[in-house]
Amino acid sequence: MSEAKKSLLVIGAGIAGITAALEAAETGAEVVLIEREATIGGRVLRLNNYFPKMCPPSCGMEINIRRLERNPRIRVLTRSKVTAAETGDGGWSVEITTEPAWVKANCTACGDCESACTTEIDDPHNLGMSKTKAIRLPHPSAWPKIYTFDRAAVSDDEAKKIAEACTYDAVDLDAQETTQTLEFGAVVVATGWKPYPLEKLEELGGDLDDVVANVQMERMASASGPTGGVIRKPSNGEAPARVAFVQCAGSRDVNHLNYCSGVCCLASLKQARYVKEQLPDAEVTMYYIDRRTPGRNEDFLLGSAELEGVTLTKGKVGRIEKSNGGLKLHVEDVENEVILEAEADLVVLATGMVPNAVDDDLAVFTRKDDDGFVLDDLEAGVTVAGVARRPEDVAASVRDATGAAARAMVAAGRRA
Amino acid sequence: MASIPVLHTSSEFREEFFDRGGENAARCYQCATCSSVCELAPANAPFPRRQILWAQWGLEDRLVSDAGPWLCYQCNDCSVRCPREVNPGDVMASIRAMVVEKLATPAFLGKLVGNVKKTWPLLVLGPLVYWLILLGATGIHIPGIDPELGALDGRFHYEHFVPHILIYFTYFAATFFALFTMWSSGRRFWKMLGTSQARTGSFFGALIGAFFDIATHKKFRSCDRGVFKRKWGHFLVMWGFVGAAITSGFAVVYLYRETVFFSWLNLQYSYPMPITHWVKWLGNISAVALVVGGLLLWLNRRNPGDKLVGVTTPFDRFFLWVVLTVIATGVLTELFRFIAAPPVLACAVYVIHLAIVLTLFLTLPYSKFAHILYRTLAMTHERLTAENG
């Protein structure tokens, strides 16, 4: 039995992938963890706090990074994607392509290059809500802690200036894309999710300035976010007096996502707390079809609902439009059987999670359901963790990842 | 002590309702997107979410006594946006069909017409057989063929084929029957509406307001995205029928201008009236409106997959075909007179026209045509409840 045949590939270094990689490596497997972004952490690092404990994701990440750095059996490849994969002979042969390393590992994150850079781009870490330099540290918790460079965004002249500004010679303008083919016994798919796009929710004002997605609200509430953690109206920077959360925005809907993402109710309740902490006088209303807060999360729901100035109204918002400087929400208050024309200054659309695998046809996605979630295929040596498998919260993703790691090791052992 | 409301659910109603095109109601999870996107739902009594819930539960009493289904013009905005493909617009149409049946006087005629999928041959052929028997018994005289009537003098007299007295006898009776049963059903409906929501204000004032809305198709206007043909089709057919009714009324008046009833009017012209007479103009313009409107309504139903169009049930189809046949045979009857069509053909079309008009009159209180009654009352009711919660 070759050692390569027992090793695992984990695709995606979000919370599920990191956890799966760590659990497998700590159990003794050799693991390659690949991530398409420049840093690991994925969607969780874009959250302000987790429910129900309201703690920031960075502390959990610090522990994970320590485990990662200490473990010699994990190799992490960032800026890397699976570009081809084939199975047979009891394992997977996977071609991994890594984007050019414009910034080398000897970067000390001093920031001299950033000062030399004049080109600004939409900050992907802040979901485009703010600008950032073309060369920058992606975010304060970046690991690996080196700069990333959007080379295509700048001219050759500017690139040269940036490279010259680096006293450590860490900016390499001759860097090339690299490709390697590696053998694995099994693959853990942890390719995660993306938020359902606001552009598809025009009827809910997805194109209006003061209508934001829940994921954007997380960035807005985060100290490292575009507003430094201040919740405000994107249109004019004012504090909103009335904030509305619109649940199932594009979810449980045959015209959009046909499923429930299972976390948005809790996310909105959590964000209602962000608002009340910063703006105690703000009126917060959450419009919902059902309040889906299973298990012990029920306590979180009750705790949020008890907050003064927080109202939960049963009824899905059908239409949102501009009206006298604010926003008008058309909704039926189902319990009182009346149509409300509610007003709000800031609307948060609780958009659902779309599996990244939905429009990707990697050979390792041997089984997918109708919505694009990837399913375990133990015979093929593929297990799935986190939201790639089904919509779930961070805690569930972590539990899921442990199971996926264990199943992948079993599958790799059997196939070898 | 507060009383606990008792729900009278009916599984039979539910089954029957699902069978009549309402089956998608079972998919509804009560999100209320439909009510919130509806342009017509009154804020204090929204639809269609509540009605779908009642239908799911088989709450016949509530559905029958509710104005909501009759305030819906089925623009199908709700069906387009519904996240569960309930097609609330179609569900509301099925509710209306069920309400027409449940409020019918006498009840068995409501069932007969409600079950039109199976009973339509009876409803169509019954009046035809009636006319054939009646004509057979009184003698069939086809102008141009029957020697007793002599040769055609360039004018085709339908009266020689069907004496006016038979027409009066038949249609006055049918009209009184329809008016009486509709009055009876309407009274019940009005009372039930009153128990579901308190009213304040003048009935007649509200009725006149409702008539104005109907005459101008005001509600259609705020409810007409996507399917342009619906509003104009309905507008033309409605006014076409009104024009045809006025024409028929004046025709009778002119016919008896010398009798004690109408002689004081001092009307000129002999009968038949010349084609340039204003009553003829009115009749012919009405016919054009009916043909164009009928065509539009028919074309509108040509796209069954479109959510904005909705589903066409046997109940809808029967009504539409009766109306279209009335229009087509009516226009042909007039046309045949002028183009010297074969007398047998002209008479055959005329009999069919008389028969289908009788079908229309007799089924009026039980077919989709009954919306004239229920919608008018519901719109009047809405005006009297707008301020009440």
Indicate whether A95 and A137 sit together in one domain. no
Indicate whether A188 and A52 sit together in one domain. yes
Indicate whether A269 and A377 sit together in one domain. no
B154-199 pLDDT, tens digit per residue, is 677 888 889 888 999 999 999 999 999 999 999 999 999 999 888 9
What ipTM was estimated for this complex? Answer: 0.90
Element (H, E) at A24: helix A15-27
Which pTM does this prediction carry? 0.92
**CA distance to partner chain A, nearest, from residue B31 (Å):** 5
Chain B contacts in chain A segment 203-232 (CB below 8 A): 203
Q: Do B35 and A339 touch (CB under 8 A)?
A: yes
Three-class SS of residue A344? strand
Indicate whether A35 and A117 sit together in one domain. no
Q: Mean pLDDT for chain B?
A: 89
Chain B residues with a Cβ under 8 Å from any Cβ in chain A: 29-37, 41-46, 49-50, 81, 83-85, 389
Indicate whether A237 and A381 sit together in one domain. no
Indicate whether A301 and A401 sit together in one domain. no
DSSP A253: -
Is B22 domain-assigned? yes
Q: Is A330 on the interface with B (CB under 8 A)?
A: yes
Is A56 domain-assigned? yes
Angle (CA) A184 A185 A187, round 5°: 75
Q: Do B41 and A339 touch (CB under 8 A)?
A: yes
Q: Do A331 and B36 touch (CB under 8 A)?
A: yes
Is A139 domain-assigned? yes
Q: Is A315 on the interface with B (CB under 8 A)?
A: yes
Q: Do B36 and A330 touch (CB under 8 A)?
A: yes
- Going by pLDDT thresholds of 50, 70 and 90, the confidence category of residue B389 is very low
Instruction: Using the structure block, give the residue that is written with the tokens 């430094």.
Output: A228
Range of the domain at B76: 11-102
CATH number at residue A212: 3.50.50.60
CATH number at residue B73: 1.10.1060.10
Indicate whether A37 and A86 sit together in one domain. yes
Final residue of a structural domain among A321, A351, A381: A351
Q: Which of B36, B41, B389 sits opposite A317 (nearest CB)?
A: B36
Residue of B nearest to A342 (CA): B36
Q: Do B83 and A253 touch (CB under 8 A)?
A: yes
Q: What is the pLDDT along chain A (416 residues), one digit of tens a residue?
A: 456 568 999 999 999 999 999 999 999 999 999 999 999 999 999 999 999 889 999 889 999 999 999 999 999 999 999 999 999 877 999 999 999 999 999 999 999 999 999 999 999 999 999 999 999 999 999 999 999 999 999 999 999 999 999 999 999 999 999 999 999 999 999 999 999 999 999 999 999 999 999 999 999 999 999 999 999 999 999 999 999 999 999 999 999 999 999 999 999 999 999 999 999 999 999 999 999 999 889 999 999 999 999 999 999 999 999 998 899 999 999 999 999 989 999 999 999 999 999 999 999 999 999 999 999 999 999 999 999 999 999 999 999 999 999 999 999 987 65
Structural domain count, chain B: 1
Is A104 domain-assigned? no
Is B86 domain-assigned? yes
Is B145 domain-assigned? no
Is A322 domain-assigned? yes
Phi first, then psi, for residue A413 (nearest 5°) are -65, -40
Do β-strands A338-344 and A326-333 pair in parallel, antiparallel, or remain unpaired?
Answer: antiparallel
Please report the number of interchain residue pairs, chain A to chain B, with beta-carbon separation below 8 angstroms.
64
Cα Rg of chain A, angstroms: 23
| Per-residue 3-state assignment (H helix, E strand, C coil) for chain B | CCCCCCCCCCHHHHHHHHHHHHHHHHHCCCCCHHHHHCCCCCCCCCCCHHHHHHHHHCCHHHHHCCCHHHHCCCCCHHHHHCCCCCCHHHHHHHHHHHHHHHCCCCHHHHHHHHCHHHHHHHHHHHHHHHHHHHHHHHCCCCCCCCHHHCCCCCCCCHHHHCCHHHHHHHHHHHHHHHHHHHHHHHHHHHHHHHHHCCCCCCHHHHHHHHHHHHHHCHHHHCCCCCCHHHHHHHHHHHHHHHHHHHHHHHHHHHHCCCCCCCHHHCCCCCCCCCCCCHHHHHHHHHHHHHHHHHHHHHHHCCCCCCCCCCCCCHHHHHHHHHHHHHHHHHHHHHHHHHCCCCHHHHHHHHHHHHHHHHHHHHHCCCCHHHHHHHHHHHHHHHHHHCCCC
Final residue of a structural domain among A351, A383, A401: A351
Range of the domain at A145: 112-165
Q: Do B81 and A339 touch (CB under 8 A)?
A: no
The whole-angstrom separation of Cα B327 and Cα B317 is 15
Q: Do A255 and B84 touch (CB under 8 A)?
A: no
B108-133 pLDDT, tens digit per residue, is 999 999 999 999 999 999 999 999 99
Indicate whether A13 and A74 sit together in one domain. yes
**CA distance to partner chain A, nearest, from residue B185 (Å):** 28
Q: Is A200 on the interface with B (CB under 8 A)?
A: no
Q: Do B46 and A337 touch (CB under 8 A)?
A: yes
The whole-angstrom separation of Cα B254 and Cα B262 is 8
Indicate whether A186 and A211 sit together in one domain. no
Indicate whether A218 and A292 sit together in one domain. yes
Q: Are B337 and B143 spatial neighbours (Cβ–Cβ below 8 Å)?
A: no
Indicate whether A133 and A185 sit together in one domain. no
Q: Is A252 on the interface with B (CB under 8 A)?
A: yes
The whole-angstrom separation of Cα A123 and Cα A357 is 23
Q: Are A69 and A61 spatial neighbours (Cβ–Cβ below 8 Å)?
A: no
Is B24 domain-assigned? yes
Q: Choose between B380 and A415: higher pLDDT.
A: B380
Q: Are B21 and B311 spatial neighbours (Cβ–Cβ below 8 Å)?
A: yes
Is B25 domain-assigned? yes
Structural domain count, chain A: 3
Indicate whether A69 and A187 sit together in one domain. yes
- Going by pLDDT thresholds of 50, 70 and 90, the confidence category of residue B227 is low
Is A171 domain-assigned? no
